[in-house]
A and B are shown apart, each in its own frame.
Chain A
Amino acid sequence: QSALTQPRSVSGSPGQSVTISCTGTSSDVGGYNYVSWYQHHPGKAPKLLISDVNKRPSGVPRRFSGSKSGNTASLTMSGLQAEDEADYYCCSYAGNYTVIFGGGTRLTVL
């Protein structure tokens, strides 16, 4: 069970949109609609942004959205803000009651 593949870093200017990809296999991302995304500011607890591929929990701004195509899930952030600078992790159900995370992506707001 290898970690899901995410780009190590992405960047964007305030107001722009950025998308982070999360690539797995047919045994995890591609096999289930159970992908979640987390925002992690260093030193703090991770925060759930997206569940079940594209569901936004209460309180999460609409500018965060999730999608999936085949074995790749994506998190799109529109209208970037300075406070969005953080690490982002995808997470997928991997069958047999196991869970797998992505390697994480550092978002830099220029």
Chain B
Amino acid sequence: QLQLQESGPGLVKPSETLSLTCTVSGDSISSSNYYWGWIRQPPGKGLEWIGSIYYSGNTYYSPSLKSRVTISVDTSKNQFSLKLNSVTAADTATYYCARHASMTTVTFVYWGQGTLVTVSS
């Protein structure tokens, strides 16, 4: 059974960089033709797609976050990561990682449990 687990600091200071890692178990990122995405949910608000990465390293970002986001993959560790720079309180959210089969079918079948990141000084 595929499992995804987010990890990273739960508190980030304003203007700094938010860094999260998603560890995948039950399948190899490099051997499967899947996309690996990041989605967030601010408190009391809806879901927002941040971006996705293909196992080969091709990246796709939300236009509204593109200037601040970097998603990368480390196949040796079976992990992919999110970096969001110049954070503000508006970036406070529960961050989820998820797997999907293509960039068009938007079918996120497997999700991590989510990790809350608070931006505060």
Residues of chain B lying within 8 A (CB to CB) of residue A40: 47
Which stretch from B8-16, B23-31, B77-85, B108-116 is at the chain A interface? B108-116
Interface centre among A38, A52, A98, A99 (most CB of B within 10 A): A99
* B 59-93 binary contact with A (CB < 8 Å = 1; else 0): 01011100000000000000000000000000000
A48 in contact (CB, < 8 A): yes
B residues apposed to A, CB below 8 Å: 37, 39, 45-49, 52, 60, 62-64, 96, 103-109, 111-114
* B-binding residues in A (CB < 8 A): 1, 3, 32, 34-36, 38, 40, 44-46, 48, 51-52, 57, 89, 91-93, 97-104
Name the A residues within 8 Å of B52 (CB-CB). 99
Known: A45-B114, A98-B63. 4 other contacts (CB 8 A): A34-B106, A51-B107, A91-B108, A104-B45
Chain B at the A interface: SS class: loop
In the bound complex, CA of A46 to CA of B96 (Å): 9
The answer for the CA separation of A57 and B110 in the assembled complex, in Å, is 12
Given A34-B106, A91-B108: A101 and B113 within 8 A (CB)?
A: no
A75 CA to B108 CA, complexed, in Å: 17
Are A99's CB and B105's CB within 8 A?
no
Please pick, from A34, A100, A101, the residue contacting B104 in the complex, using a CB distance under 8 A.
A34
> In the complex the two chains form, is A44's CB within 8 Å of B113's CB?
yes
Q: Are A104 and B106 in contact (CB under 8 A)?
A: no
Give the shortest distance, in Å, between A54 (CB) and chain B (any CB). 13
Q: How far is the CA of A92 from the CA of B96 in the complex (A)?
A: 18
How near does chain A come to B61, taking the closest CB pair, in angstroms? Answer: 8
**In contact, B106 and A57 (Cβ under 8 angstroms):** no
Q: Collect the chain B residues with CB atoms within 8 Å of residue A35's CB.
A: 106
Expressed in whole angstroms, the Cα–Cα distance for A34 and B105 within the complex equals 5
Q: Are A48 and B107 in contact (CB under 8 A)?
A: yes
Tell me, in angstroms, the Cα distance from A57 to B107 when the chains sit together.
10
Query: Could you tell me if A46 and B60 are in contact, using CB atoms closer than 8 angstroms?
Result: no
